[in-house]
A and B are shown apart, each in its own frame.
Chain A
C-alpha cells in the first residue's frame, strides 16, 4: 500500500474518531425558572423544534424539577407540556387529579389513576401505604429534586408511544436499556407539538393557589438518550482532537522511520554489491597479471626445451622450471577458486583455507609448521574483501618466515572468542630488526600487512629481535 494512501486513511480515521459519538441535541435551555401560577404557561421553545402527526421518528425530552409545591399543597398541577398551538398535548410532571409524579393528556389512563387521561409514573421510591405496602406513585417533595426523561416514538396518524423514566441513571456509561423497570412507565399519548409550556396552578378550590410552584431547569430535546448521559472529558471533541493529532504525529513518525530504514537497507545492499564488484575486479586483475605471466613463462620454457633437445642438462633444468611454474599456477588458481566459490564467505572457510595454505607452503620444508586451530568456529559471514585481506596478511607473514626466518618451527595459532578473531604467527628463527636496512620488498610487505589490517578494522603487532625469532599478531573485532 502506498505511503500516501496509508496517510490519508489515518487522517480519515482520526477525523471520524474526533466526531463525538453521540447524536444531536436539538434544543436545550439550562436556565432555572420558577413556575408558579401560570395556568396557561408561555412557549419557551420559540419554534426550535416541532413534530406533527406525520412524524415517525424518535425524540427524547429531559427536564429537571425542584418541586416547591408538594403533597401539602395538593391539589395542584405542575407540568412540562407539549402544545400544538393552544391545544394541550402530552404533559409530564404532576397531573391535576393525581397527587404523585404523573403524566396527563394521555390516550390511556393509568391502572392506578381515577381521572381519565392521567397516568401515574412508576418510581424507585414509591410512597408507603398505611396498609404496609406501597402506593403506585411517588409524592413530589421539595427535598428531593428529580430529573425526568421521556421518549416519544412518533407514530404517523396514530397515538405515539411514550416511555417515561423518573430520575434515570444519567451517569457516565448509562444506557436507555440499562434503566430499571421500576422507574419506567409506558403508555400512549399524542405528543405532536410546536411549543413547550411550563404550567402551574392550584386545581382545587377557589382560594387554593397550589403552593409555591416548581422550579424547572436543565431542559433539552435530543435524538438519543445518550445525549443526556454525562459526558466524560475523554468524550469531548477537543480531547479526541488532541489524541487524533498525537496519533497522526505518531503515524507520521513511524512512516518516516520505515522510509529511513528502507533507504538504509538499499544503501547497504548497494554497498554489498559494490564490494562484490570490487572482488570480481580484483580476481580479474589477478588472473590477468599472475596467471597470464606464469603460463607465458611455461610456454617459453617449452620452446626452450625444444631448442635444447640435444642438451640433457638443459632439458633437466627447463623441465624442472616448467614443473615448478605449473605448480605455482595451480596454487594461484586454487586461491582464486576458493575466493569465488559460493560458501567461502565465512570465517570457517577462511580458517580452513589458511590451514591448508600453511600446510602446503611448508610441505617438505625443513621448517616445521604447527597449527593451533579452534575446533568450533561460530558461523560468521565475512565480506569477500575482509576475507581476502586477512588471508593476505597471513600469507605475507608465513612467506616471510619461509624465505627469511630460517626457523626450525613456525606456529600458526587462530583464536575465536565471540566476535573477536586473533591470528598469531610465531617462529623461532633469525628474527629481524625493523630499523636495519631491510630490503624494500620486505618493508613494503610489512607496510602492506599493516594497511590490510587497518582496512578490515583490525590491528597488527610485530615483535622481533635479531636471533630471537619473530611474532606477528593480528587482532580484529567484528562489529556485527
Chain B
C-alpha cells in the first residue's frame, strides 16, 4: 500500500530534495510537485494525493489559504505544513485552516517519512507550543462560532499537560487512559479547530 504524496514549494532545491526522498522511499509514491499554489489548486483535486507537503510561505496565496480551499472541497486530503522556522502564529493558523501538523524543513529524512505515515494513519502531531495556542484560542471570550465547539475537560487537561511538556505516553499515564485515547483527543481537538474555521468562514460569508 503506497502513500500518495504531493509537494508544493517554490524553492527548487527543497522541492527536488524532498521529491528525491519520497521517490526513493518504499511505501511512498510521488504523484505531483508544484512551485506555485495556483497550479496546485487546479491539479491536486484531480490527483487526489493522501498527504500534501505544503510550504507555509508561498508567493501569492498563503500556504494555509491554499489548504483551506482544497479542504473545503476535498476533506480527505491531509496537509503537512513545511516551514523553515517554528513560527507559532503561522503554524496555528495553518492548523485552523485544516492542516494536520507541520514539519521543519530541516527535519531528518527518517523522521519526515515517519511523520507522513503518522498523518496518513490518522495521527496528528501536536507540540507543546501549539497545545498552548490551542488552549488560549478556546479560552477566548465566546463568539457565535466558538460556542459551537468547546473543549471537554479531558481535552483541556490533555492540552495543558502537553503544553507543560509531557509526552503522549506520560500524559496517558498521568490521566490513566490509553495512548489511543490520547491520540483521539488530538484528533477531536483538530476537528474542533477545523469546525471553527469552517463555521467562521460560513459566518463571514453570510455576513457578506
A373 to B165, CA, bound (A): 11
| Contact between chains at A370 and B165 (CB < 8 Å) | yes
| Contact between chains at B135 and A375 (CB < 8 Å) | yes
A372 to B165, CA, bound (A): 9
| Contact between chains at B127 and A326 (CB < 8 Å) | no
- Residues from chain A with a CB closer than 8 A to the CB of B165 are 358-359, 368-371
B125 within 8 A of A: no
Partner of A330, one of B84, B132, B139, B164: B84
Given contacts A327-B106, A371-B163, A371-B164, contact A355 B85 (CB under 8 A): no
Tell me the count of chain B residues lying within 8 A, CB to CB, of chain A: 18
- Residues from chain B with a CB closer than 8 A to the CB of A330 are 84-85, 106
| Contact between chains at B108 and A323 (CB < 8 Å) | yes
A40 within 8 A of B: no
- Residues from chain A with a CB closer than 8 A to the CB of B167 are 368
Chain B CB within 10 Å, residue with most, of A334, A356, A368: A356
| Contact between chains at A326 and B86 (CB < 8 Å) | no
A359 to B166, CA, bound (A): 11
| Contact between chains at B127 and A375 (CB < 8 Å) | no
State the Cβ distance, A16 to closest chain B Cβ, in Å. 58
A360 within 8 A of B: yes
Report A384-426 residues with CB < 8 Å from chain B CB.
none
A259 within 8 A of B: no
A48 to B139, CA, bound (A): 92
| Contact between chains at A356 and B86 (CB < 8 Å) | yes
- Residues from chain A with a CB closer than 8 A to the CB of B163 are 371, 373
- Residues from chain B with a CB closer than 8 A to the CB of A334 are 85-86
State the Cβ distance, B91 to closest chain A Cβ, in Å. 11
- Residues from chain A with a CB closer than 8 A to the CB of B127 are 359
Chain A CB within 10 Å, residue with most, of B135, B164, B167: B164
Report A350-374 residues with CB < 8 Å from chain B CB.
352, 355-356, 358-360, 368-373
A249 within 8 A of B: no
- Residues from chain A with a CB closer than 8 A to the CB of B164 are 370-372
B2 within 8 A of A: no
A265 within 8 A of B: no
A337 within 8 A of B: yes
Report A314-366 residues with CB < 8 Å from chain B CB.
323, 326-327, 330, 333-334, 337, 352, 355-356, 358-360
- Residues from chain B with a CB closer than 8 A to the CB of A323 are 108
Partner of B129, one of A326, A359, A370, A372: A359
| Contact between chains at A356 and B106 (CB < 8 Å) | no
| Contact between chains at A356 and B129 (CB < 8 Å) | yes
B147 within 8 A of A: no
A360 to B106, CA, bound (A): 13
State the Cβ distance, A439 to closest chain B Cβ, in Å. 29
Contact with A along B80-95 (1 / 0, CB 8 A): 0000111010000000
A273 to B135, CA, bound (A): 37
B176 within 8 A of A: no
| Contact between chains at B128 and A375 (CB < 8 Å) | no
Report B104-139 residues with CB < 8 Å from chain A CB.
106, 108, 127-129, 132, 135-136, 139
- What residue in chain B is nearest A363 (Cβ atoms)? B127
Given contacts A327-B106, A370-B166, contact A356 B136 (CB under 8 A): no
Partner of B132, one of A326, A355, A368, A370: A355
State the Cβ distance, B156 to closest chain A Cβ, in Å. 11
State the Cβ distance, B41 to closest chain A Cβ, in Å. 29
- Residues from chain B with a CB closer than 8 A to the CB of A360 are 86
A167 to B86, CA, bound (A): 96
State the Cβ distance, B147 to closest chain A Cβ, in Å. 20
| Contact between chains at A355 and B106 (CB < 8 Å) | no
| Contact between chains at A337 and B166 (CB < 8 Å) | no
- Residues from chain B with a CB closer than 8 A to the CB of A359 are 127-129, 165
- What residue in chain B is nearest A338 (Cβ atoms)? B85
| Contact between chains at B108 and A356 (CB < 8 Å) | no
| Contact between chains at A352 and B88 (CB < 8 Å) | yes
- Residues from chain A with a CB closer than 8 A to the CB of B136 are 375
Report B45-96 residues with CB < 8 Å from chain A CB.
84-86, 88
State the Cβ distance, A434 to closest chain B Cβ, in Å. 29
State the Cβ distance, A411 to closest chain B Cβ, in Å. 9
A337 to B90, CA, bound (A): 14
A358 to B165, CA, bound (A): 10
A121 to B33, CA, bound (A): 117
- What residue in chain A is nearest B160 (Cβ atoms)? A375
| Contact between chains at B129 and A355 (CB < 8 Å) | yes
A122 to B84, CA, bound (A): 105
A330 to B86, CA, bound (A): 11
A170 to B139, CA, bound (A): 76
A370 to B171, CA, bound (A): 12
Q: 17 other contacts beyond A356-B88, A359-B165, A368-B167, with CB at 8 A cut-off?
A: A323-B108, A327-B106, A330-B84, A330-B85, A330-B106, A337-B85, A355-B129, A355-B132, A356-B86, A359-B127, A359-B128, A359-B129, A368-B165, A370-B164, A372-B164, A373-B163, A375-B139
Give 6 nearest A-B pairs by CB, closest first: A370-B165, A371-B165, A334-B85, A369-B165, A371-B164, A359-B128
Interface residues, chain B, with chain A CB atoms under 8 Å away = 84-86, 88, 106, 108, 127-129, 132, 135-136, 139, 163-167
20 contacts between A and B (CB under 8 A): A323-B108, A326-B106, A327-B106, A330-B85, A334-B86, A356-B88, A356-B129, A359-B128, A359-B165, A360-B86, A368-B167, A369-B165, A370-B164, A370-B165, A370-B166, A371-B128, A371-B163, A371-B165, A373-B132, A373-B163
